[in-house]
Structure 1
Amino acid sequence: MSTLRGIVSLLLLTLNTLFWAVPLIALTLLKLVTPGRPLRRRVLGGLNAVALGWIDVNLWWIRRWLRPDLRQELPAGLTPDDWWLVIANHRSWTDIFVLFLALHRRLPMPHFFVKRQLIWIPVVGLAFWAMEFPMLRRLTREQRERHPHLARRDREATERMCRHARERPIAIYNFVEGTRFTPAKHLARQSPYRHLLPPRAGGIAQVMGLLGDRLGGILDVTIRYERPEPRFWDFLCGREGAIHLSARSLAVPAWMTDGDYHQDPDYKERFHSWLNALWQAKDATLDSL
Structure 2
Amino acid sequence: MSRFFAAITLILSVALTILVTVACSVPIIIAGIVKLLLPVPVIWRSISLFADFMMYCWCEGLALLLRLNPHLKWDVEGLEGLNKKNWYLLICNHRSWADIVILCVLFRKHIPMNKYFLKQQLAWVPFIGLACWALDMPFMKRYSRSYLLRHPERRGKDVETTRRSCEKFRSHPTTIVNFVEGSRFTQEKRLETRSTFQNLLPPKAAGMAMALNVLGAQFDKLLNVTLCYPENIHSPFYDMLTGKMTRIVVRVSLIPIAEDLHGDYVNDKSFKRRFQSWLNTLWYEKDVLLATIMQKKKAGQ
Unaligned runs of 5+ in 2: 294-301
Shift of 1:145: 3.4
Equivalent residue for 1:256, pick from 231, 253, 261: 261
Aligned residue pairs total: 287
Aligned-residue sequence identity (percent) comes to 35
Identify if the C-alpha distance between structure 1 residues 148 and 46 changes in structure 2 by more than 3 Å, giving closer, same or farther. Answer: farther
Matches within 5 A, 1:83-122: 83-122=87-126
Rounded to whole Å, the distance in 2 between the matches of 1:161 and 1:64 is: 34
Q: 1:37 aligns with which of 19, 30, 41?
A: 41
Map residues 78-227 of structure 1 onto 2, 5 A cutoff. Answer: 78-226=82-230, 227=232
Where does residue 228 of structure 1 map in the other structure?
Answer: 233
Q: Displacement of 1:55 after TM fit?
A: 1.2
Q: Which residue of 2 aligns with 1:286?
A: 290
Question: Where does 1:40-51 land on structure 2 (aligned, <5 Å)?
Answer: 40-51=44-55
Query: Residues 6 and 236 of structure 1 are in contact (CA less than 8 Å); yes or no, is this contact kept in structure 2?
Result: yes
- Pick from 209, 225, 243 the counterpart of residue 238 of structure 1: 243
Matched, 1:270 2:280: no
What TM-score, normalized by structure 2, do the two folds share? 0.91
Could you tell me how far 1:270 is from its partner in structure 2? 0.3
SS at match of 1:9: helix
CA distance, structure 1, for counterparts of residue 126 and residue 134 of structure 2: 13
1:87-137 Cα distance to aligned partner (Å, 9 max, x none): 111110011111123211201021000001101111110011111111001
Q: Residues 89, 21 of structure 1: CA spacing in aligned structure 2 closer, same or farther, 3 A cutoff? A: closer
Q: Tell me, what secondary structure is at the counterpart of 2:227?
A: strand
Alignment RMSD, CA only? 1.5
Q: Which amino acid letter does the alignment assign opposite residue 256 of structure 1? A: L
Gaps in structure 1 of 5+ consecutive residues: none
Q: Which deviates more from structure 2 when the two are superposed, residues 199-208 or residues 72-81?
A: 72-81
Residues 215-247 of structure 1: CA distance to partner in whole angstroms, max 9, x if unpaired?
110111111112231331211111022121111
Greater than 6 Å deviation, 4+ residue runs: none
TM-score when normalising by structure 1: 0.95
Relative to structure 1, is the Cα distance of residues 35 and 247 closer, same or farther in structure 2, using a 3 angstrom cutoff? closer
Structure 1 residues 222 and 32, CA gap change in structure 2 (3 angstroms): same
Aligned 8 A contact 1:72 1:102 in 2: no
Greater shift in the superposed pair: 274-283 or 236-245: 236-245
The letter for the 1-side match of 2:237 is F
Deviation at 1:63, TM superposition (A): 4.1
Deviates more, 1:4-13 or 1:153-162: 153-162
Counterpart of 1:64? 67
